[in-house]
Homo-oligomer: A and B are copies of this chain.
Amino acid sequence: MNYNKLFSKLYGAVGDADELGQVASYIPELANINPNKFGVHLTTLNDNNYRYGDSDEKFSVQSIAKVLALVLAYKLEDEKLWDRVGVEPSGTPFNSLVQLEYDKGIPRNPLINAGALVISDILVSYFDEPKKQFIEFVRKVSGIPEIDFSARIADSEKSVGYTNAALVNLMKSFGNIRNNVDTVLDFYFNLCSIEMTCKELSRTFLFLADYGVCPYSNERIISISKSKRINAIMQLCGFYDEAGEFSFKVGLPGKSGVGGGIIAIHPNKYSIAVWSPRLNKKGNSIRGMKFLELFTTETKASIF
């Protein structure tokens, strides 16, 4: 099926959402984005590519990169990873300390900020040059050697990152952070600063549609079981406290970022990346979610 025409039609259908929502504004680097940008790129397992709009423009993937950090940490640590982070939906807003305090420093899942900080701590422990070695992993998975951190974004986040500093210190007080808090925060802010286009994002995540094998290199990144489990975590925890809404309406595992990006996976079929910077109150892209809802409804593509 050629999706290009469908993308164009669906873009028209979501247009009304233009006026709604705000671009993330807590750092100037994100606030300066043109709020009306919209791009989508879908890559199938046999490398058919479909696209619409600003799909070749770089944007800050933000929390979407947490999935890649999780993949690497899970690969390295196996099941003992789950001693330090849970797999349950958080049920509370994305930067909440309440649950963390109640659960004695164990984050509910690896895709909320607290969980991604624990994952960052694990990677910092594991590597000599964590940032360098992590970005090399991302390049390998994607087959795109140009993917990189944005020092500008990372610095900007660091200058206002008090909530994340609170989280990492709280977890350190419970013994669930092993490294220096500033080192962990530096890794974390860089992780969230990665920039990709919709095309790059779609291609990077295709291995999760292929049960853990990178379709470009035919290299296995992670086992079938781990690949499925990461998709399960995205399904339940990928959209902050709107995971139910996304599952209900879109029906694919996915992950959003406050840069306005969303990646969604159809196991054994394709990965699809959407980007539109206006966010709803939960921090998810309004047009991105709506577009994916229409897309899976139209194509009857939900996994359920």
Q: Which residues of A contact B (CB under 8 A)?
A: 86-92, 96-99, 101-102, 108-109, 162-163, 165-167, 169-170, 172-173, 181, 224-225, 227-229, 231-233, 235-237, 241-245, 247-249, 251, 253, 267, 297, 300, 302-304
Contacts and interface: CB of A to CB of B under 8 A. Distances in A.
A232 B253 contact: no
Nearest to A82: B248
Nearest to A165: B169
30 contacts: A87-B244, A87-B247, A88-B91, A88-B243, A89-B89, A89-B236, A89-B244, A90-B91, A91-B108, A97-B101, A98-B98, A98-B101, A162-B169, A162-B181, A165-B172, A166-B166, A166-B167, A166-B169, A166-B170, A228-B304, A229-B248, A229-B249, A229-B304, A233-B248, A235-B235, A235-B236, A236-B244, A236-B248, A267-B303, A267-B304
The prevalent SS among residues of A at the interface is helix
A162 B170 contact: yes
Contacts of A86: 244
A84 to B, nearest CB: 15
A14 to B, nearest CB: 18
A251 B236 contact: no
Nearest to A224: B300
